[in-house]
Structure 1
Amino acid sequence: MYLTRFRINTGRVGARKLLASPQAMHAAVMMSFAETLTPTDGPRVLWRLDRNGNAATHLCIVSPYRPDLTHLVEQAGWPTTARWETYDYTPFLKRLNAGDTWAFRLTANPVHHIRRNDTEPTKRTAHLTPIHQLRWLLDRQEASGFKITEKAQDKQLAQGLDTHDVLVHGRRQLRFSKGGKGHVTLVAVTFDGHLQITNADAFRAALTHGLGRGKAYGCGLMTLAPA
């Protein structure tokens, strides 16, 4: 597995086109691999856009193969002064153990299924409020091998409601055309917080397979940093 980070030159026309279309960005990411990538039950290519407070925008990629981002540098980077950084992710994944505590970032597409009455089929729809988006993540933590850290009572802004050490922010609605098959609309949000690993194998699977839906469009990738 490999972890790649590439800074996007947002002043370039090509960069703005990619940032405006998750479908175009997905295609550009997949062009980074010489290998033929077919759907399997194994690790997949995950990507995420991080827009930081200093106006820097980075593309993060986790992949089973080493990528070549030359085309992205030419289209959306600094061809003569900057490249990209790729790290061997496998040794880090192997060092993860139950009980470890990490800071994390995840961009995801929290959805649920609803229907108005018993005669209608269920319909997938996005969670729109932070409390329901957080509940979506909490519902997946046990199966994914982690537990989000809980806040001490004196750190809670509203006792009983602000109980977990996680910030839900950056909600954005993505709408784009999917290869002439109509439009796709999804809601993406970013979670920043702290977690503790409870099952290392399940957690490694979550890091390399992704969480939730919309993985082809910049959702599902969780990354870690020292707590």
Structure 2
Amino acid sequence: MTTWLTRLTLDASRIDVREELRNAVAMHRRVMSLFPDLSELESARQHFGVLHRVEQEGRRAVLMVQSSGEAAPERLPDGYAVDSASRDIQPLLDALAHGRRLSYRCDANPVRRPSSTTREVYRNLPSVVALHGRHADDWWYRRAGLAGLKIYTHLSHPLDAAVGRRGKGRDAQKVRHHRVRFEGTAEIVDPDALRAAMTGGIGRGRAYGCGLLTIAPLRAGE
């Protein structure tokens, strides 16, 4: 098995790029255009293990795409990306070991599903509640633990929600995923759990820019 991480620097002066940065459904379609089409009976995102995240670096927008098959930037419209680079991160995943320290970053969708009893008491409570502040941090600590990490340092930054519309006309459905960026340093306590979290993603909204966990090993003394 091979896992690829592709980094695309987007031309944010283009109208289509700006529109897709604001529309998570359109960005999902753009990301999936990097891979071969599959039949309607098979999910291409799951088949290719596709996860993505958009980052701002100064005035530049950077699209990170992880997949089990190498992405094909040549499928993008001419000029959509001004730079691209892909690397095989399978050696990194294979080298994960107990006790190794690393830095991490993940844009995730911290939410809670209230129990039926709680929803009976609070009649207007939605079926999925977005978590903020300390509650979002508590969610991340739990999910990081399940992902085989012991957190040492931690920062969280609220991000704009991933929004869009899926479908057309009256059948169109609103898409909205609350997002928080979690980053810091940690120690590996379960390498297998970490590999699974990195390749499978963390939490909800994975088709819309949530759940991609990326890491970088720390050098001694860091």
Q: Same fold by TM (over 0.5)? A: yes
User: Cα deviation per residue 1:129-165 (whole Å; 9 max; x = unaligned)?
Assistant: 221111111112222111111xxxxxxxxxxxxxxx1
Give me the identity figure in percent: 31
The match for 1:16 is 18
**What is the root-mean-square deviation of aligned Cα atoms in Å?**
2.3
The match for 2:159 is 171
What is the DSSP-based 3-state SS (H/G/I as helix, E as strand, rest coil) of the residue aligned with 2:128? strand
Give the counterpart of 1:207 among 198, 202, 212.
198
The match for 2:182 is 191
1:34 aligns to 2:39 (yes or no): no
Q: 2: distance between equivalents of 1:178 and 1:75?
A: 26
The match for 1:46 is 51
TM-score normalised by length of structure 1? 0.83
Please list every run of 5 or more consecutive structure 1 residues that lacks an aligned counterpart in the other structure. Answer: 150-164
Contact preservation (8 Å) 2:8, 2:85: yes
| 1:189 shift after superposition | 1.1
1:62 aligns to 2:56 (yes or no): no
The match for 1:132 is 135
TM-score normalised by length of structure 2? 0.85
Aligned length: 206
| 1:85 shift after superposition | 0.6
Contact preservation (8 Å) 2:10, 2:81: yes
Q: 2: distance between equivalents of 1:134 and 1:23?
A: 27
Q: 1: distance between equivalents of 2:79 and 2:30?
A: 10
The match for 1:116 is 119
| 1:119 shift after superposition | 9.6
Q: 2: distance between equivalents of 1:109 and 1:207?
A: 15
Please list every run of 5 or more consecutive structure 2 residues that lacks an aligned counterpart in the other structure. Answer: none
**Residues 6, 118 of structure 1: alpha-carbon distance in 2 compared, 3 angstrom cutoff:** same
Q: 1: distance between equivalents of 2:46 and 2:178?
A: 25
Q: 1: distance between equivalents of 2:10 and 2:174?
A: 26
1:217 aligns to 2:201 (yes or no): no
1:142 aligns to 2:145 (yes or no): yes
